[in-house]
Amino acid sequence: MDAAREEIARLLEQSTRLRKSLRELTRQVEETRRHANHDELTGLPNRRLFKDRMRQALAQAARKTRLVALVLVDLDGFKAINDSFGHSVGDELLRIVAERLNGSTRLSDTACRYGGDEFVVLFPDLSDMASVEAVTAKVRACFDKPCVLGGRSINVKASIGCAVYPDDAEDMGDLLHRADKAMYGFKIGGARKRDEANEGIATE
């Protein structure tokens, strides 16, 4: 009887160790997967995960005859902020922007840090252009309030471009290209306006 009790106790202890090992292995696998699919600085999905979700969104939109909006965001003057206040402040700005963009999305949407100071937001399953305009406005609103960086309140602006499937393009590469072109046009237009304003001030 004592030997049986000892064997049961040994097996229970072994089972407990195995469960702990399994939990730790599961945690490690999840952590590895997270690092593979998410940006380390902001925690947003990275380019790899984003493109996978975009493929799924376009395939679903083709089946259901829906729209997909792709909104590309490039921070204006990010290098100047890094140079003036340091890279730690620049990193904090990226985290704040990531949090705001993520907060502007639905569960079905995806905000991604696409690289450097560039972000992209995927809005799948939209019904019409009014819905596209609404989600784009939500992205623009992320830059309405200043960011508090290193104890300073800084107004951060962004150049934003939007492309819509299937109106602007019918595949992922072309859609990204159209959004980038729209964003670049927005950036050039903003720079022209600033130059004109500066010229006006100088003339006075």
pLDDT tens, position by position, 139-172: 999 999 999 887 888 899 999 999 999 999 989 9
- The answer to the question of residue 84 being in a domain is yes
pLDDT in tens, 64-117: 999 999 999 999 999 998 898 888 999 999 999 999 999 999 999 999 999 899
Among 117, 128, 171, 195, which one carries the catalytic annotation? 117
Which residues of 65-182 form beta strands (DSSP E)?
Answer: 67-75, 110-115, 118-126, 147-149, 152-154, 158-165
Is the model's pLDDT at 174 over the cut of 50? yes
- The answer to the question of residue 150 being in a domain is yes
Same domain membership, residue 107 and residue 149: yes
- Residue 83 annotated in active site: no
Name the residue range of residue 8's domain.
1-37
- The answer to the question of residue 42 being in a domain is no
Same domain membership, residue 111 and residue 79: yes
Same domain membership, residue 115 and residue 54: yes
Determine the 3-state secondary structure of 165 from DSSP: strand
- The answer to the question of residue 11 being in a domain is yes
Same domain membership, residue 75 and residue 19: no
Q: What is the pLDDT of residue 149?
A: 84
**Distance of alpha carbon 156 from alpha carbon 154, whole angstroms:** 6
pTM above 0.75, yes or no: yes
**With bands split at pLDDT 50, 70 and 90, how would you rate the model's confidence at 11?**
low
Same domain membership, residue 136 and residue 192: yes
Domain containing residue 83: CATH number: 3.30.70.270
Q: Measuring CA to CA, which residue among 158, 181, 159 is closest to residue 169?
A: 181
Q: Measuring CA to CA, which residue among 20, 38, 28, 183 is closest to residue 102?
A: 38
Is the model's pLDDT at 197 over the cut of 60? no
Same domain membership, residue 194 and residue 100: yes
Number of structural domains, the chain? 2
Q: Which amino acid is at 95?
A: R
Same domain membership, residue 75 and residue 152: yes
Same domain membership, residue 120 and residue 69: yes
Same domain membership, residue 23 and residue 62: no
- The answer to the question of residue 65 being in a domain is yes
Same domain membership, residue 51 and residue 25: no
* 103 burial type by CB count under 10 A (0-12 exposed, 13-18 middle, 19+ buried): exposed
Which residues of the chain form beta strands (DSSP E)?
Answer: 67-75, 110-115, 118-126, 147-149, 152-154, 158-165
- The answer to the question of residue 133 being in a domain is yes
Nearest 5°: phi and psi at 146?
-65, 160
**Distance of alpha carbon 157 from alpha carbon 140, whole angstroms:** 9
Same domain membership, residue 148 and residue 109: yes
